[in-house]
């Protein structure tokens, strides 16, 4: 899905009960500082490109190496959850991280005709703003010095950024469909030695349909957490 908005409030609550080890705290602080810096580099590169070129065409190619590195580096977040140093759902984090990996490697990287589409810029901008906000939030939180503006931004920016990012992702996937259908890329037809078939075109359609139940669920979850964190409302979550 668009912005990676896994909730940190549950993590904060658990951390109060069981403090992280010094090593875990040091590693997570290093990780979040690194990711904040990485997305800031991306932001500066995007602004510089737009100012110099006065066009969005070629933007993705100018930042693709940095984008691929830091988005792929985010796979560590799944490991963080799995080993317990971040107390967030492995499933939720996995879905969010892998959806980003899918967009970066199996859509934008693989389907070059769509790399200059406006929709790509749309979700890249939302990803960048979201990740700078999110990782800086985690960094300051780990340092026990969280400025209110960062907290406010974390739980307000997503209201606009999340829907815009989702629209950008969906338009990008939709724009890729004609090329995928014509080229047959990543598809496996019968007969073959594996005796299985796979149609990437259909896969992309299924991915788009999956946004229908997933987006509202994640979006309204974040709205509930926003009320809880910023306004102190007590909200009962359903058991998973």
Catalytic residue among 169, 200, 201, 219: 169
Residue 238 has a pLDDT of 46
Tell me which H or E stretch contains 57.
Answer: none
Structural domain boundaries in the chain: 9-231
**Per-residue confidence band for 36, with pLDDT thresholds at 50, 70 and 90:** very high
Question: pLDDT by residue (tens digit) across 194-222?
Answer: 889 999 999 999 999 999 999 999 899 89
Per-residue pLDDT at 234: 52
Using alpha carbons, select from 158, 155, 8 the residue that is nearest to residue 80: 8
Residue 104's CB: how many other CB atoms inside 10 A?
A: 20
Distance CA 113, CA 179 (A): 8
Closest by CA position to 162, among listed 154, 152, 151, 150: 154
pLDDT grade for 232, boundaries at 50, 70 and 90:
confident
Question: 85: cis peptide before it, omega within 30°?
Answer: no
Active-site residue (options: 31, 60, 162, 201): 162
Half-sphere exposure (CA, 13 Å, Cβ side) for 146?
Answer: 17
Given a cut of 90, whether residue 53 has pLDDT beyond it is yes
Confidence of residue 161 (pLDDT cuts 50, 70, 90): very high
Q: Is 194 a catalytic residue?
A: no
Query: How would residue 181 be classed by pLDDT, with cut points 50, 70 and 90?
Result: very high
* Residue 37 confidence (pLDDT) above 90: yes
CA separation for the pair 54, 122 (Å, rounded): 16
The string of pLDDT tens digits covering residues 40-50 is 999 999 999 99
Read off the pLDDT of residues 1-14 as tens digits, 9 standing for 90 and up.
Answer: 655 555 444 444 44
Rounded CA gap, 160 and 182, in Å? 35
Confirm whether 169 is a catalytic residue. yes
C-alpha distances out from residue 235 to 83, 139, 152, 193, 227, Å: 28, 26, 19, 54, 8
């Amino acid at each position: 899905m668009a912005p990676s908005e896994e909730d940190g409030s549950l993590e904060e609550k658990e951390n109060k009960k069981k403090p992280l080890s010094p090593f875990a705290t040091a590693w997570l602080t290093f990780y979040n500082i690194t990711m904040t810096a990485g997305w800031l580099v991306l932001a500066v590169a995007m602004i510089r490109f737009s100012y110099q070129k006065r066009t969005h065409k070629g933007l993705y190619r100018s930042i693709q190496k940095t984008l691929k590195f830091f988005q792929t580096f985010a796979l560590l977040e799944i490991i963080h959850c799995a080993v317990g140093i971040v107390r967030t759902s492995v499933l939720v984090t996995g879905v969010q991280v892998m959806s980003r990996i899918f967009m970066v490697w199996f859509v934008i990287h693989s389907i070059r005709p769509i790399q200059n589409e406006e929709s790509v810029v749309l979700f890249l901008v939302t990803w960048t703003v979201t990740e700078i906000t999110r990782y800086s939030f985690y960094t300051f939180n780990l340092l026990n010095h969280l400025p209110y503006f960062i907290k406010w931004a974390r739980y307000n920016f997503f209201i606009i950024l999340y829907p815009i990012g989702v629209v950008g992702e969906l338009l990008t996937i939709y724009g890729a469909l004609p090329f995928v259908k014509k080229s047959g890329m990543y598809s496996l037809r019968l007969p073959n030695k594996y005796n299985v078939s796979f149609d990437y075109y259909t896969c992309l359609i299924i991915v788009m349909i999956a946004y229908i139940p997933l987006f509202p669920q994640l979006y309204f979850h974040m709205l509930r957490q926003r009320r809880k964190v910023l306004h102190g409302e007590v909200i009962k979550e359903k058991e998973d």
